[in-house]
Structure 1
């Protein structure tokens, strides 16, 4: 292991997909114009990696823990507790953390249980708009047992004092469906969701949003229940000083739990229009100016576009990742004359056809600036499968990044 080597993971959330007829039976990754990844692929190790342990749900929580080297079977206690770490909520051992999405339900006269869920992100609502709506929720629903905390965009948090881990359905798993059979069995959680529609649907802010052609953010939705997490220090685990660059509270929370530095980038918002170049340059700064060994650059946009079912925008998100993150990192590291190893991969697939996560293996690209591998003509799911290389346990992937003798 060379002391001056730098290590980078570029994580395109939900970037993997399945062949799509409209794209000539190519995946968005194979169809997208990605000259930087294709250039790197010719001298990189390409293969498949299974990031979701058998029997576990294919969430970004379990998948990103895997990619960061943490076995989800040992470290996963729920998604929301990790997000609580990110926004600075101190959890007691008896607290249950719940994700509290602000979603769009159908605006009709049907009873709450008969409404459809239209959009899990309420037109990717801004944090500023969400703050106004969450304040209205807090005023009406918060009490000594249930506390509400502002997160980012549509992603917020509820802490349930002396609660219990209950089975809850992620809203992005049931887009377009009638919600009745997916509501919480817990009567009080269900009642808060129902009351939230009465509070939010005709809120002045939502009236204005509808006039602008935006989806109303008209209901809260609970999911992702869990208990206080206990991750080990990333630096102690891997002998690398690490930094996290992400707009998403989940990833920031994982970093806080692992005692990594969380780097805030202005304009990074988890949408298709995030500050890609800012993330890339911040990563290089951490490596070269601030002397960090490892950076994790997380880009949410491909996953969001998969959930929205938008083929053109998922392609665009992948192309932006290539041209505005990976190319920038490559050129800046070369300008420094630095030796580096870069792992490019998704955490899980978010196929357009189902608009939610699956557990299928994902393609990885592992590049070393100091040596060439046999490589492949391009980087995509089919080429990765053809390579014959397969990492069964996703949490071992980081060891391939850190060990110098992998690529040859």
Structure 2
């Protein structure tokens, strides 16, 4: 029997007045998830430990069965693993967004954490320019995808920069950046680098007017997924975060052309890649970023659309090829990304586990409230994978 984890990043949220006090999940038309909820177990899982920030890095590491309190070193190191960077143990790896801010000053505002969702074709030349003009023996700029890039500080893990507490830019949309500018100022080195980068990026014709290094840490190391859980597995995602977790744990990383991480991603391509891997593999972690990006943008319409497309274009086609007598399904999200706050929330996430050996819940639909009412809760997210495997034996 195959096992599919289908993850709609940031799908969870709170009731919204304009939707008649429904969540976007409740408002969305999701016949496939509703059917699976009625035929399986429904509950909630705390993917983010109470003492950690509710990021996709922490939450997805938990869902893959690894305790983030043991293995997590930062967002940057996970994405560096995706690129297969050759790093020394004492390097400090930063996730580096290209952002749109009013100015890198204490009176500045974060307009857009994604520089208008800048395309990779425009962002890569900018990062290459930063490397040419600011890169040196200490700092290296590595281009990534869209607005998501990397900055490596050689030997930085032994220096004070490791302790800087810079907030994720997606937490700051339309908010002041004064606290972060002050935090950067604690390091003359980082303060100068960001200000110099602002000069290099000036007048480039895009909304990328500054860099925003954050999520720094030492290189990531994780044990092999196959040794831990006995399955040959793969990850399918548009984002380096998931690819990095996959590569670091020995899962096959499948790239899909046209996968954007947005509402218009290549759904059919992700399904095709999943089906092809399942011809010889046991487990696939299929990740869709669209609901999360829509939540960060505060778009009710796009979040509902992304949830509906996840249900129709991912869950539905996979069920057609692998019905419930041939595969076990987990449907969930890594964390909430509520429209109201436009950032992540650490609330326990709703999940469905549908497998031949599971007793049917006979629920009529799937939502945050319904999942919470069942009383089934996994208090430690990294235990969820083993809990699922025990249920489907």
Deviations 1:283-335 (A, max 9, x none): 12111x2x10100001111111111111110111101100011111111213x
| Counterpart Cα distance in 2 of 1:199 and 1:259 | 38
1:369 to partner: Cα distance: 4.8
Aligned to 2:112: 119
Q: Unmatched 5+ residue regions in structure 2?
A: none
Aligned to 1:210: none
Question: Is contact 1:46-1:375 (8 Å) kept?
Answer: no
Aligned residue for 2:57, secondary structure, equals helix
Question: Is contact 2:358-2:391 (8 Å) kept?
Answer: no
1:259 to 250, 269, 277: 250
1:168 to 160, 166, 169: 166
1:271 to 262, 265, 268: 262
The count of aligned residue pairs is 385
Question: Is contact 1:95-1:163 (8 Å) kept?
Answer: yes
Question: Is contact 1:7-1:293 (8 Å) kept?
Answer: yes
1:90 to partner: Cα distance: 1.2
Question: Is contact 1:342-1:401 (8 Å) kept?
Answer: no
Aligned to 1:135: 128
Mapping of residues 3-402 of structure 1, within 5 Å? 5-106=1-102, 112-164=105-157, 165-166=162-163, 167-183=165-181, 184=184, 185-203=186-204, 205-206=205-206, 216-287=207-278, 289=279, 291-334=280-323, 339-369=326-356, 372-402=359-389
Question: Is contact 1:339-1:370 (8 Å) kept?
Answer: no
| Counterpart Cα distance in 1 of 2:104 and 2:225 | 48
1:92 to partner: Cα distance: 0.4
Change (3 A) 1:364 1:142: same
Coordinate RMSD, CA, aligned: 1.5
| Counterpart Cα distance in 2 of 1:102 and 1:111 | 13
1:405 to partner: Cα distance: 5.2
| Counterpart Cα distance in 2 of 1:8 and 1:152 | 26
Deviations 1:101-151 (A, max 9, x none): 001113xxx663322111111121111110111122112211110000011
**Could you list the runs of 4 or more consecutive aligned residues of structure 1 that deviate by over 4 angstroms after TM superposition?**
369-372
| Counterpart Cα distance in 1 of 2:375 and 2:282 | 30
Q: Which moved more, 1:40-49 or 1:182-191?
A: 182-191
Change (3 A) 1:111 1:385: closer
| Counterpart Cα distance in 2 of 1:61 and 1:98 | 13
Question: Is contact 2:295-2:339 (8 Å) kept?
Answer: yes
